Amino acid sequence: ALLQAMRDFYQPANLVLKGCKVLITAGPTREPIDPVRFITNRSSGKMGYAVAAAARDLGAEVTLVSGPVQLSAPHQVKRIAVETAQQMLDACQTAVQEADIFIATAAVADYTPVNVATEKIKKSTPTLSLALTKTTDILATLSLANPQLFSVGFAAETHDLLSYARSKLERKGLKMIAANLVGEGKAFDQDQNALEVIWQDGSTSLPEMDKQRLAQELMHLISTHYQTWKQQDGTH
């Protein structure tokens, strides 16, 4: 708290997001198959929590909608705990009404079981076919419905990183997207990561570094682009 107070005193010019409301999603979601089993993904939430702390350090008022992770909520950040993709969507749709910037770092399940068994499924058959249906794309839905929002996405890919990321930027109406390679020990559950940050007419590489520092660099980029966009937006 003393350190924070000293930072606030000596670097008031750095609180570039003061008065800004930032909504961040983080972690995985869990899609229940029955009361015991579920589908999920390899997301520790570390990157999203680091982005939340970095946004707070720039003076923003931060709401963090988080799937199940083993992390404490960063100091001064309002955390809303959710489990499924549908719960994350619902929480975001309420919180987004007040937000200026939306940063979707969560690894939301793309598919969820069509039917959730109310009792534990017994292993009576040698094989089983699990019917899945697409979840609502939280990022695309909120971004396209709220053009006044500065929406930033994340893309985790095992291959063709840049082309997938740029296609997502266009399709989901994003202002920026941060892309990283995953799989084979990369990114998930690691303390280090590297990002390609892409916007409509440019991009930059943030090389491999600690997720805390990477989040600070990313938030610096986001706030710079946000300020520019807001000024342009005000002129037309």
Active site residues: 41
Cα–chain center distance at 189: 15
Task: For the CB of residue 165, give the shortest distance to its own copies in the complex, in Å.
Answer: 13
Q: In terms of CB distance, is 161 or 209 closer to its own copies?
A: 161
CB 206 within 8 A of CB 220: no
Task: For the CB of residue 156, give the shortest distance to its own copies in the complex, in Å.
Answer: 7
Q: Considering only CA atoms, which of 77, 57, 20 is closest in space to residue 227?
A: 20
- Tell me 135's DSSP state: P
Degrees, nearest 5: CA angle 98-100-101: 120
Task: For the CB of residue 216, give the shortest distance to its own copies in the complex, in Å.
Answer: 26
As a whole number of angstroms, the distance between CA 122 and CA 151 comes to 43
Residues 6+ apart with CB under 8 A from 39: 30, 31, 33, 109, 111, 112, 113, 132
The site for its own copies (CB under 8 A) is made up of 33-42, 70, 107, 109-111, 114, 119-121, 123, 125-134, 156-159, 182-184, 188
Task: For the CB of residue 183, give the shortest distance to its own copies in the complex, in Å.
Answer: 4
Q: In terms of CB distance, is 188 or 226 closer to its own copies?
A: 188
**Position of tokens 């940050």?**
197
Q: In terms of CB distance, is 32 or 59 closer to its own copies?
A: 32
As a whole number of angstroms, the distance between CA 193 and CA 84 comes to 26
Q: In terms of CB distance, is 27 or 60 closer to its own copies?
A: 27
